[in-house]
Homo-oligomer: A and B are copies of this chain.
Amino acid sequence: MDRHVQVGIHELKNKIIEMGGLAEEAIALAVEGFLASSSQRAQDVKDIENRINRLHILVDELCVRLLATQQPMGSDLRFIVAVIKINADLERIGDQAVNVSGNAKRALAGRPLDLDTRNDFAAMCPATRDMVRSALDAFVRNDQRVAEKVLKMDDVVDGLKNAIFAKTIELMEQGTLGVKQGLDLILIARNLEKIGDHASNIAEDVIYATSGQDVRHPYSRTELKSP
């Protein structure tokens, strides 16, 4: 085992853990502000996103440097390739947290959330955060089983999103909910769904890094070599 490669991989792992922590924090603050009908923390979310963006660039630089100087092989190489992709997903989770914040600010400008809608989001928000946390757990522990659980959690989040969509549309059609507010709520549900999608991508990359197995697009794997 090459010591230089291991030092580099250790550094990469720490940076991804740091980014992941920031991404979780950004989601938590954005969601907390939204559920508390407050936009006070919007600037904090933006600041965290900024730190994620700096790490985004730094992690890519570290990956390229490691590939260039150490020529890693086997599982080390797979780990670095996985990190290049996980890095991109974490950056986009940061973007989506900022979007939640922005859409929430507009959604709440109309009027506070009714209790029913608040409850729906109070279920969807932690489900989405759990996906991100579990995906990072899987990454930290190289744990394929946790990663597989994340992929299953995605169905739950999608179901919660569909329920919010359906209920919001109904309220908009009844005229109980204004068009602008309803739309912002729908966009927030979509932002959260996307965060879940990025967590799923991370889980797939963890499975790839740990097992060498590419589990993406299972339905389209036939005739892979002659597309």
Q: B60 near A214 (CB under 8 angstroms)? A: yes
Are the CB atoms of A183 and B180 closer together than 8 Å? no
Interface flags for A73-90 (1: CB within 8 Å of B; 0: not) read 110011001001100100
Q: Are B169 and A227 in contact (CB under 8 A)?
A: no
Q: 0/1 per residue, A134-156, Cβ < 8 Å to B?
A: 00000000000000000000000
Interface of A is mostly: helix
Residues A5-36 near B (CB distance < 8 A): none
B84 contacts A77, C-beta separation under 8 Å: no
| Inter-chain contacts of A50 with B (CB < 8 A) | 217, 219-220
- A64 and B77 in contact, given A51-B227, A53-B220, A179-B173 (Cβ under 8 angstroms): yes
Query: Which residues on B sit within 8 Å (CB–CB) of A74?
Result: 68
| Contact status of A56 and B179, CB under 8 A, knowing A68-B73, A68-B77 | no
Tell me if B216 and A56 are in contact (CB < 8 A). Answer: yes
List the interface of chain A (C-beta within 8 A of B). 50-51, 53-58, 60-61, 63-64, 67-68, 71, 73-74, 77-78, 81, 84-85, 88, 169, 172-173, 178-180, 182-183, 186, 190, 214, 216-217, 219-221, 223-225, 227
- Known contacts A51-B227, A67-B81, A190-B190; 15 further A-B pairs (Cβ under 8 A): A51-B220, A54-B220, A54-B227, A56-B217, A57-B221, A57-B224, A60-B81, A64-B77, A71-B71, A81-B84, A85-B88, A172-B179, A173-B180, A179-B182, A183-B186
